[in-house]
A and B are shown apart, each in its own frame.
Chain A
């Protein structure tokens, strides 16, 4: 039996070689059409996509050529013809008496024939066609993508659009790099990213009018803002959880020390302020007591006069009106006295309470948490500078893992454990929003703020973006702030440039003047209080007091 396998393999190889060229030619022709459509603005292929179309067609062609069957009878005739074997191979398949002799003759001749000699691998018309078609496709694409056929004005306009396209590319790359690399973009983010890239390509290739590009860019910006706002809202929610956890922990610590009535916020005051405030409260209490004594004396006098006979009706009415006004004033002063006394008592207690919280905050575990928060804050600051608004899921996961480790170490401290559990829950929630929530100024920065660490800029309570603002703890009352203590945040609003703003974080506790108009901040605090009440975060025994307090303020 003649061994024609090497020839069959060579035939397959040559067929694959030629079919690849045919496939590449067809693919390149298709790519040329695609590039033409791109030139006309009907399609949007990338160079890589065009290359894949050509290469894919070539590979497909090669596969088809390689798997195409080779009939043995045809191969015999073909080898006969190409090797000049004078039909020895085809004759060897004929059954005659001396078939062995014919076969031996064929084998001896076939032994001198190399498959590659009769089926040479060489460049043919299809290869030239593939090269030409590829060059045509590339030329069409390049001509359609480059400004060589444009006037100087058109070139300038196109260069400007291309430059904007590059900027857009950089922005989208920096904004979505991590999330895209980890395939964690939400559907909305994916749509936004695709739209931005499409716009970028249109700009670079001058396939879009400037007016249209501007309109599209505005639409994309609006979508981006909405996405960011949603993320900010999510982060606010998680921040509130963290805040609640922190307050609960602090209140639990104070309650454990028998000082449940002490506000944790009060403990953040510097010692000098506290002393000053305490002195003022005591002085105010004395003043009130003095005023009350004076009012009481006057009321006694009025009472004696009213008991005397011989008063005219007009004098009596006047005395009664004065008595009524004084009683009202006394009532108010009594309330103020009560409040001042409570404040004074609280300030006395706060000395001890601060010690309790200091002890808690100086706890080794809290130190670690603080270190974590510092890391988060630093990352947020870096992110704000580099334009990368997110922490990655991996980073979140790392922090969460460390929190869990700390939690394991703190099982003996119920309050600390509860706090950390809440904090951990907040972190998990942050992780579930796939990094979207951890933009500068969001959870990481706010946690840092909670823990007394200065953080970066971000999003304020009204969901406005800020440029790398900073948090200040004011050591003295603002000018004209009277007897209040304020914790304020200063910064600049992005949409209004360098306009400064101040937000008062602490509620007014005493005095009759505040750093900002009273009515402008009261609704916000009132709302927060109601929310806290609704969430059952206020101890039940204090709910009534809180309600009455805000009710009195709104009168």
Chain B
């Protein structure tokens, strides 16, 4: 296991460094995307246009030697434009033509610009990892990772993703604006003659192996209990509901949220050179995995409580209740 963990870290680090050659800054986002890849979870990236979301995903696919496709969602896009459609072939028979979703890494750019119908088709493929067309089921390739980007919902002409569909994303990463230094570097790289071509540092099997290694990380009952307390703490009702959730939450995190937080904690544990997840890893995984899984009420909106602030409140309350079991 130690060897596997070491290999995992080295591979992960190699991909990250390769991505970093093209993408300036955004270290947490890069790490989150790679974690989603390693944990077999789809990633939702949210940020203003032009922050390098597409570049990030494209660079990642190139450095991993995986099949890549990009879908630019627009309001008039139809589900078949994503999943593929039946066309009349040369032999006068209908044949299925796979859509852009048939790739290892799919960049669903500005997914919230598509209509709910199209979003739904996309998200069904994400969940089932298969597409059904004309009564025939078509399995998507492995590994299959959707990296969706979306603009902030305040922007005009967008269709916010339904909660049930958001739940299918393993993590939601907020892409921040670059700092001045990062911006300087971006300008320098994109306006000079030099063009960086990402090297392929890992392949399809490496990704699958990474997923196996992540699954073997130990989560002891103490850590698991803590993680579940956080998840339950987001529920507005129930025994473990936190005061913050009782006040601001309409719906709390689903069981997928619990799975996601533990899985991401495992990835972080491996990155911390450990074979066991810790509470610190869980806390670190809290916001990426749950921020899109909680639905806040009007009071939270009135009080300008964001999902991250809400989760901070939950973490604080759960942390206070998580006392040292040895009372002195």
Q: State whether these chains interact.
A: yes
Give chain A's interface residues, CB within 8 Å of chain B: 11, 14-15, 18, 70-71, 73-75, 77-78, 80-82, 86-88, 90-91, 93-94, 96-98, 101-102, 105, 119
* B220 with A93: CB separation less than 8 A: yes
Q: How many whole Å from A25's CB to the nearest CB in chain B?
A: 16
Closest to B328 in A: A14
Q: Pull 24 A–B residue pairs with CB atoms less than 8 Å apart, ordered by A.
A: A11-B326, A14-B328, A70-B326, A73-B325, A74-B325, A80-B222, A86-B269, A86-B278, A86-B280, A86-B281, A87-B276, A90-B221, A91-B218, A91-B220, A94-B276, A96-B216, A96-B218, A97-B1, A98-B2, A98-B216, A101-B275, A102-B218, A102-B275, A105-B275
Pick the residue among B2, B276, B278, B324 that contacts A82 (CB under 8 A).
Answer: B324
Q: How many of chain B's residues have a CB under 8 angstroms from any CB in A?
A: 23
Q: Which residues on B sit within 8 Å (CB–CB) of A102?
A: 218, 275-276
Q: How many whole Å from A50's CB to the nearest CB in chain B?
A: 29
Per-position contact with A for B236-255: 1 when CB-CB < 8 Å, else 0? 00000000000000000000
* A71 with B272: CB separation less than 8 A: no
* B2 with A101: CB separation less than 8 A: yes
The answer to whether A119 and B328 touch (CB under 8 A), given A87-B222, A87-B223, A96-B218, is yes
Q: How many whole Å from B278's CB to the nearest CB in chain A?
A: 4
* B278 with A87: CB separation less than 8 A: yes
Extra contacts besides A15-B328, A74-B325 (18): CB < 8 Å:
A14-B328, A70-B326, A71-B325, A78-B324, A80-B222, A81-B324, A86-B269, A86-B278, A87-B277, A90-B221, A90-B222, A91-B218, A91-B219, A91-B276, A96-B218, A98-B1, A101-B1, A105-B275
Residue B189 is within 8 A (CB to CB) of chain A in the complex: no
Q: Which residues on B sit within 8 Å (CB–CB) of A101?
A: 1-2, 275
Kindly count the residue-residue contacts between A and B in the assembled complex, taking CB atoms under 8 Å apart.
72
Measured between alpha carbons, how far is A101 from B2 in the docked complex, in Å?
8
Q: Which residues on A sit within 8 Å (CB–CB) of B328?
A: 11, 14-15, 18, 119
* A86 with B275: CB separation less than 8 A: no
Q: Which residues on B sit within 8 Å (CB–CB) of A96?
A: 216, 218
Measured between alpha carbons, how far is A91 from B269 in the docked complex, in Å?
12
Q: Which residues on B sit within 8 Å (CB–CB) of A11?
A: 326, 328
Q: Which residues on A sit within 8 Å (CB–CB) of B256?
A: none
The answer to whether A86 and B218 touch (CB under 8 A), given A14-B328, A18-B328, A77-B325, is no
Interface residues of B in 249-297 (CB under 8 A from A): 269, 272, 274-281
Measured between alpha carbons, how far is A101 from B1 in the docked complex, in Å?
8
Closest to A100 in B: B1
Measured between alpha carbons, how far is A71 from B221 in the docked complex, in Å?
16
* A87 with B275: CB separation less than 8 A: no
* B275 with A77: CB separation less than 8 A: no
* A90 with B324: CB separation less than 8 A: no
Q: How many whole Å from B272's CB to the nearest CB in chain A?
A: 7
Measured between alpha carbons, how far is A18 from B328 in the docked complex, in Å?
7
Q: How many whole Å from B241's CB to the nearest CB in chain A?
A: 24
